Structure 1
Amino acid sequence: MCILFMYNGTNDPKSDYSLVLVSNRDEYYDRHTQNMAPWNEDPNVLGGRDLEVNEGGTWLAVAPRRKKLGVLLNIAGNNKPDAKSRGKIVADYVKGDRPIKTYIEQIKNYTENCNEFVFVSVEFRQGGPLISSYNNANDELAEHKDIYVGFGNSLPEKPLKKVEAGRNKLKEIITTFNKVCMQQELVDKLIELLKWEERTHTIVLVTKTGHMNVIEITQESPIDPLKPKWVRTEYQFDL
């Protein structure tokens, strides 16, 4: 199950963070992917790559200079014949300068031919992160202003029980570990929240001073489900 939790601390005076993001990506073990790294065609973008499709799509990517982040979650359902790549939606978003509303309006002809998905975007603004989601199942673009939000393999308005439980757990963690001096404890607790049953874990921490930490922990290829080896990659930026 792919899952995504976010904390928007913009209006939380007790917190040093404007955004905390934690994501699990579950995928078939034999699916070829590239771990998080700067992209050859655009070094300003950082993300993994799906090597099974020619479009060079991704499930999560961040473009610090453009102050953008995108995540894609699949919705379980019937597959369309000759469906377009969903990962291309994230890739094109972070490589361009279009705001989310304009971007969605311009790609609807493409998304109509994709299997169902939820695309979550973050635009880092002076007043705090703008968190939005778009799904092609009901063609809805929504802005999320709650302090704690969660997404899974279902429509945003119909969260699975695992999403609701994880969102509540994130609240417990952030309430305790919301200072930069506690960052290592925060990361450890977030990894514990994500657990080790999925394939790739991503953590993004953005402080109110504009410093971003991006951490990816993924299983090393070739993957042995019985004895997985984990690789940790970390990048830092100033927005």
Structure 2
Amino acid sequence: MCLIHLHFKNHPMYQLIIAANRDEVYDRPTEPAHFWEDEPGILAGRDLLEMGTWMGVSKNGRFAAITNFRDPSLPKKPRSRGEIVRNFLKSSVHPKEFIDELAKEKDSYGGFNVIVGDPEQLFHYNNILDEKNEIKPGTHSISNHTLNTPWPKVVKGKARFADYIQRNLGKLDIEKLFEIMMDREIAPDEQLPDTGVGLEMERKLSPAFIQLPHYGTRCSTVLLIDHEQNVTFVERTFNSGNLKFEKRFHFKIEE
């Protein structure tokens, strides 16, 4: 994922609300969201190169999502970041313990932010800053630096996301959450970060929804977990900025 908005607790109907975009090169082979044949308890899309994933949820309520840390000067590393999400979803390790163990291997991976947990507890870890956070109730966002870094897409999207949730204390309209993730407006130059990719690329990467010739937003996902342990997972797949199809899943968390 390259942009994740989440609202944790503090809502009368939902324990966890997620809206996220995955940005990737268009030709990287990918399967859309499904329950995996080799791990039937995992619901997620799948990277067919490394067999990991960018975001998923398990039948027993475990959740994980990852974003890259943008810094072109960082060296490439041998291990796939997508395995982190896969490993958490298939394990039974407590989220904090998982983060603590992951931190010991932080230099084996390229830069990342990962969120792991369940409807009761969420944790964030950034391996470049070696930063650990227990996520507090409320609204949070993350792109390609660290949790709640005030990049334009984070600030703007987080405000819209929080405003919609705070004004709607009953059942949420999934379409409204997807609309937030479809924002293609380029941020003003004075608001752009300097991550080492050059001004023109900073502009092109500044919207929530990215569309470049060979790279962009491949899918958008909305995840809702209510107080009755019902899970709604909706994924929309895009090709060069155009919607290809949608997949919807509903299930109850297993005790």
Shift of 1:130: 1.4
- Out of 140, 152, 155, the position equivalent to 1:164 is 155
Shift of 1:36: 0.5
State the distance in 2 between where 1:83 and 1:76 align: 17
Query: Is residue 195 from structure 1 mapped to residue 195 from structure 2 by the alignment?
Result: no
Could you state the TM-score of these two structures normalised by the residue count of structure 1?
0.86
1:154 maps to which residue?
145
State the distance in 2 between where 1:190 and 1:112 align: 35
Query: Is residue 70 from structure 1 mapped to residue 84 from structure 2 by the alignment?
Result: no
Q: Is the 8 A contact 2:126 2:132 kept in 1?
A: yes
Shift of 1:109: 4.2
Amino acid at match of 2:4: L
Could you state the TM-score of these two structures normalised by the residue count of structure 2?
0.80
State the distance in 2 between where 1:172 and 1:155 align: 22
2:13 maps to which residue?
16
State the distance in 1 between where 2:243 and 2:100 align: 42
- Out of 136, 143, 152, the position equivalent to 1:145 is 136
Query: Is residue 205 from structure 1 mapped to residue 219 from structure 2 by the alignment?
Result: no
Shift of 1:160: 1.3
Q: Is the 8 A contact 2:96 2:123 kept in 1?
A: no
Matches within 5 A, 1:19-34: 19-34=16-31
2:250 maps to which residue?
236
State the distance in 1 between where 2:117 and 2:222 align: 14
Q: Is the 8 A contact 1:38 1:47 kept in 2?
A: yes
State the distance in 2 between where 1:188 and 1:61 align: 20
Amino acid at match of 2:251: F
Give CA-to-partner distance per residue, 1:116-167, whole Å, 9 cap, x none.
100011322xxxx312100111222211114101111112253312101111
Shift of 1:104: 2.2
Tell me, what secondary structure is at the counterpart of 1:27? strand
State the distance in 2 between where 1:204 and 1:99 align: 21
Give CA-to-partner distance per residue, 1:194-219, whole Å, 9 cap, x none.
11732200000111111110000112
Give CA-to-partner distance per residue, 1:181-238, whole Å, 9 cap, x none.
xx4xx2111011011732200000111111110000112xxx4x27x34211011111
Tell me, what secondary structure is at the counterpart of 1:41? coil
Tell me, what secondary structure is at the counterpart of 2:109? coil
Query: Is residue 136 from structure 1 mapped to residue 127 from structure 2 by the alignment?
Result: yes
Q: Is the 8 A contact 2:95 2:122 kept in 1?
A: no
Q: Tell me which moved more, 93-102 or 138-147.
A: 138-147
Identity of aligned residues (%): 25
Query: CA, structure 1 residues 122+104, in 2 after alignment: closer, same or farther (shift >3 Å)?
Result: closer
Shift of 1:175: 2.1
2:37 maps to which residue?
40
State the distance in 1 between where 2:19 and 2:32 align: 17
Unaligned runs of 5+ in 2: 184-208, 210-216
- What is the number of equivalent residue pairs in this alignment? 220
Shift of 1:177: 2.6
Q: Is the 8 A contact 1:71 1:90 kept in 2?
A: yes
Give CA-to-partner distance per residue, 1:47-102, whole Å, 9 cap, x none.
0111122xx1110011122x210000001113424431111000000000001121
Shift of 1:107: 3.0
State the distance in 2 between where 1:207 and 1:39 align: 23
Tell me, what secondary structure is at the counterpart of 2:24? coil
2:6 maps to which residue?
6
Matches within 5 A, 1:115-130: 115-124=110-119, 129-130=120-121
